[in-house]
Structure 1
Amino acid sequence: MSLDIEVYQGKPPVTVKRGAAAPFGWWPAVCVALVALIDRIEYNLLAGALPAIQKEFGFDDGQAGAIATAGAIAAVVLLLPAGKLADTGRRSWTIAGVVAVWALLTLGTGLAGSYLALFGVRLLLGAAGQLYNPPASSLLGDLYPGPSRARAFGLERMAYFAGLPIGVIAGGALATAFGWRTGFFLVALPGAIIALLVLTIKEPIRGTGDRLTTWYADDTLHAAPAPTGAVVPMLTQVRQLWRIRTLRSVVIGLSILFFGLGGLFFWMPSFYQREFGLDEAGAAAVGGGAGLVGILVGIGVGSWLGDRWHGRRRGWRVALGGWSLLFGTAGLTGAVLLTPFVPQVICFALANVGFAGAIANLTAANADVVAAARRGLGFAVLQMVVTLGGALGPWLIGEASDATGSLRLAYAIVIAPLVVGSLVVLAAWRTYDADAAAAVAQSTTVSTKQEV
């Protein structure tokens, strides 16, 4: 069964086949994934090249961790305004502008001549780094209905986390072969190209994905919602969002997860150098390679399972996300406790399988429980808290390493919080279905205007 549906404002209707996973194609999801990929590659070049940069500028582990932490905290200040813009402005233009700024700041990193200059440029890059997420997540929610959202968001998350080890590997290899500045110069050009590709994404009417979700489920297609004229202050909307129990649990769980992952990836090349005597390129290749394999497997399997049983089992996406997070925590525990090289690398890869599977499903669940008119702001809230969690990881592990003299012991501090995060997420499976139904109902009735 197919219907002609109004998707783009002022454009002819689009013929959509009922049940289609990607009714408007996978190209928008691919573009968003490329944005996430180049973002994390640019950001994590620093981790791979860190030993060489520390040698040149002479700063300790605590100061190194502070670079990542300060940039992430700066991003938090801008995320809520970015979320508001995502709910009111043209989202593809916003994303393209952010990516272009990244490219310029990446060039600036390669030109830094001191720790202070490096800190300043990375502070700005960190501030801009998360601003693509609210508009990109809002776009994906409108272009992909509920039964395929884990795959759409999983593709973005796969690229995001694949960029971590790729950046680490490239940073370490280029630092060894050509000097640490080379990687930052080379990556700027792909960033500029991806900014142009994003402009090819058409802007859908808000709520399109939720309208299709209801049509797929009960053969009822609602008309595109019209604004009510009601003006809701942004902070009031944030408070309303925080009342959604599933959203709270997902935000808390993912923030703790990113706390662990942020520190894990930032320090992993240094860990393999110090614990196993590898050089910069070898340490980056092992840590990054094991992480990349784990991420690809986790996202692929996790998003497939999440979509396959979505709507068939109560609270499935949240439950799967919670158990995946617990599995990843067990893998990380093994990576911390085991001293033989091969078992340690295997456990590190398994940790990434679990964490990646959790991220794919919990990110899709976040889109499911927030109405389309507020989805940009909802992801801004998620990204704000997640960024704070991720910001603390590199710094706290760096400080713990300085205090104990061991990165292995420093890694142990993230295990207990990850267990707590898993339990918080698992407790939310009972509320997911009701929260998701409420979001769809709101998306297919009315939308509201916003103010600061």
Structure 2
Amino acid sequence: MHGYRSTLAPMAGAPAKARLSRYYPWLVFALSFGLLLSDYMSRQVLNALFPMLKLEWGLSDTELGALGGVVALMVGVLTFPLSILADRWGRVRSLTLMAALWSLATLGCALANSFGEMFLARLCVGIGEAAYGSVGIAVVVSVFPRHLRASLSAAFIAGGAFGSVLGMGLGGVISAHFGWRVAFGGMALFGLILVALYRLLITEKGLLARRQELGEDVSASQTQAKLELRPLVSALFSTRSILCAYVGSALQLFVMASMLAWLPSYFGRYYGMSGAQAGLTAAAFVLIGGAGMIMCGAFTDWIARHIPARKWIVAIAYSVLCCVLLGAAFQLPPGTAQLVLIGAGMLLAGGTAGPASAAVANLTAPAIHGSAFATLTLVNNLLGLAPGPFFTGLIADHIGLRGALQFLPLVGLLAAVCFVIGRRTYSADVHRLERMRAAAGNR
């Protein structure tokens, strides 16, 4: 009888283990996505509180801009070095530390009594958020098979748009009823709850076991994570296709970032909307852009399931179609037809995020994915997210905002050219990387 029980025990435990294995990646995604929402909610809630802070503390617009800009500055400066440290120190430990820092710093914003105290707290928010996007997406792609990478990458990145809308929307509602300090405190509490759940449910051991289930050579990955700076940089920039993925992604985000920044002003100037109406209308297009990222990522994985190189063709199509739709939209006078075309264009504006992220993941070793996505984030900021709104405004000063937006979609054609060039060497570059991994595993 004892032998009979001992024989049944493993059999009874096997289905439970299989269920855990099946649900664990989605638990990782859900909590990582939740923390990304917290990231952008904590970052963007400030925008909804500008009027109250300006009135209570007598701040200038320059000082208000500095409170928002210091976060972006810290993210741009620290993303790459902190992502390298996370690859070596442990991603779970790094993510929970980052999220705890930005949540506590957001709580510090609620307790601030002067511009200087608020500025210091916002600086710490930026330090905490600096590498979360790159390391978080590295964790997500590590627990799913390759054929889902475009979908999951796009869905994860879209969390930034949803978090921005939630931060501004909830921040405005909470502050209207309870004051701006409670708005900051609510964002901080949400982040701290997620930190506790993440620390309790997600472990390095669990991620390692999942990677082994997917057939990854973990011992080789751990060795690659300890690469010196020079070979690491070489691995991140070694192929033409990965360079094209970086630049193509950034140029397409140049278009999306410019649209998001200037749509409220466009609706105010050309549709005669009030500030509140223009903001709400623009927020609707932000949601369309975020939903488009997810839809485009899922479609990319579906159409390229058996032929991964098709992801490049899809990225080319997204860039070209977005250019055509937005270009046509701003040739039309303000009205329903223009709004429909803008919505269709925004649906595709961030569509290349999934294919580009999947390409970067496939062209680098899993152990340095944090560093690879940090590089992608850095290029996206330097060539896309930061200069897009600025140069669009610069052109608008000379030919008007509508004229600037008529030329803006042409940048998407440059993104398409990058994806065309990258596609030509992608398959050869992936095969070369796989041969290098196999050689490293045999040593």
Taking the aligned partners of 1:377 and 1:181, their CA distance within structure 2 comes to 36
Q: State the secondary structure of the residue aligned to 2:25.
A: coil
Is the aligned partner of 1:269 residue 2:267?
no
The letter for the 2-side match of 1:97 is L
Alignment match, 1:203: 204
> Which is further off, 22-31 or 199-208?
199-208
What do residues 266-322 of structure 1 show as CA deviations (whole Å, max 9, x unaligned)?
4433443344343444322211122213421x2343222222233523511222123
Question: Which residue of structure 1 lines up, in the alignment, with residue 79 of structure 2?
Answer: 79
Counterpart AA for 2:204:
E
Q: Conserved in 2, the CA contact under 8 Å of 1:206 and 1:373?
A: no
Q: Is the alpha carbon distance of 1:202 and 1:210 closer, same or farther for their aligned partners in structure 2, counting shifts above 3 Å?
A: closer
Aligned to 1:381: 375
Q: SS in structure 1 opposite 2:386?
A: helix
- Corresponding residue of 1:218: none
The AA in structure 1 aligned to 2:144 is Y
- Count residues with an aligned counterpart: 424
Greater Cα shift, 332-341 or 308-317: 332-341
Q: Is the 8 A contact 1:33 1:160 kept in 2?
A: no
Q: Structure 1 residues 259 and 120, CA, compared in 2 at 3 Å: closer, same or farther?
A: farther
Compute the displacement of 1:429 (Å): 1.8
Amino acid at match of 1:367: A
* CA-CA distance at 1:144 after TM superposition: 0.9
Return the letter of the residue paired with 1:258: L
Letter in 1 for 2:362: D
Q: Counterpart amino acid of 2:99?
A: V
Deviations 1:391-418 (A, max 9, x none): 23344445555x3595444545643333
Give the aligned partner of residue 59 of structure 2: 57
- The alpha carbon displacement at 1:420 in A equals 0.9
Residue 148 to residue 37, structure 1, CA distance change in 2 (3 Å): same
2:157 corresponds to 1:163: no
Structure 1 unaligned runs (5+)?
Answer: 1-11, 216-220, 448-452
* Contact 1:68 1:395 (C-alpha < 8 Å) held by counterparts: no
Give the 5 Å matches for 1:5-404: 24-48=24-48, 57-59=59-61, 70-109=70-109, 121-171=121-171, 183-199=183-199, 200-204=201-205, 224-225=219-220, 232-296=227-291, 298-313=292-307, 315-388=309-382, 389-398=384-393, 403-404=397-398
Task: Note the alpha carbon deviations across 1:319-364, whole angstroms, 9 max, x for none.
Answer: 2123213323334334544442433433332233112322122212
Contact 1:310 1:317 in 2 (8 A): yes
- Using the TM superposition, give the Cα deviation of residue 211 of structure 1 relative to its aligned residue in structure 2, in angstroms: 6.2
Partner of 1:424: 418
* Deviation at residue 35 of structure 1 after TM alignment: 1.5
Greater strand proportion: 1
Q: Deviations over 1:370-401 (max 9, x none)?
A: 11122121112111222223223344445555
CA distance in 1, matches of 2:114, 2:337: 39
Give how far 1:143 is off: 0.9
Aligned match of 2:10: none
Q: 1:110 to 1:222 in 2, by over 3 A?
A: closer
Q: Secondary structure at the match of 2:227?
A: strand
Q: CA RMSD in A?
A: 3.9
Counterpart CA distance in 2 for 1:68 and 1:336 is 30
Question: Aligned equivalents of 1:415 and 1:249: distance in 2?
Answer: 19
C-alpha distance after superposition, 1:423-442 (max 9, x if no partner):
21232123223333444555
CA offset at residue 98 of structure 1? 1.3
The answer for the alignment partner of 1:434 in structure 2 is 428
Q: Decide whether aligned partners of structure 1 residues 231 and 102 sit closer, same or farther in structure 2, where only a CA change above 3 A counts.
A: closer
Deviates more, 1:355-364 or 1:51-60: 51-60
> If the length of structure 1 is used for normalisation, what is the TM-score?
0.78
Aligned to 1:9: none
Q: Which one has the bigger helix percentage?
A: 2
Relative to the length of structure 2, the TM-score reads: 0.80
Q: Equivalents in 1 of 2:433, 2:407: separation in Å?
A: 37
Distance verdict in 2 for CA 1:25–1:409, change over 3 Å: same
Contiguous gaps of at least 5 residues in structure 2? 1-13
Q: Supply the distance in 1 between the matched residues of 2:331 and 2:50 (Cα, whole angstroms).
A: 25
SS at match of 1:26: helix
Q: Which has the larger radius of gyration?
A: 2
Alpha-carbon distance, 1:136 to partner: 1.6
- Distance in 1, matches of 2:174 and 2:399, equals 28
Amino acid of the structure 1 residue aligned with 2:133: N
Query: Which stretch has the larger CA shift, 379-388 or 203-212?
Result: 203-212
Q: Deviations 1:215-272 (Å, cap 9, x if unpaired)?
A: 6xxxxx8675475599632243113320122221111122223333334324433443
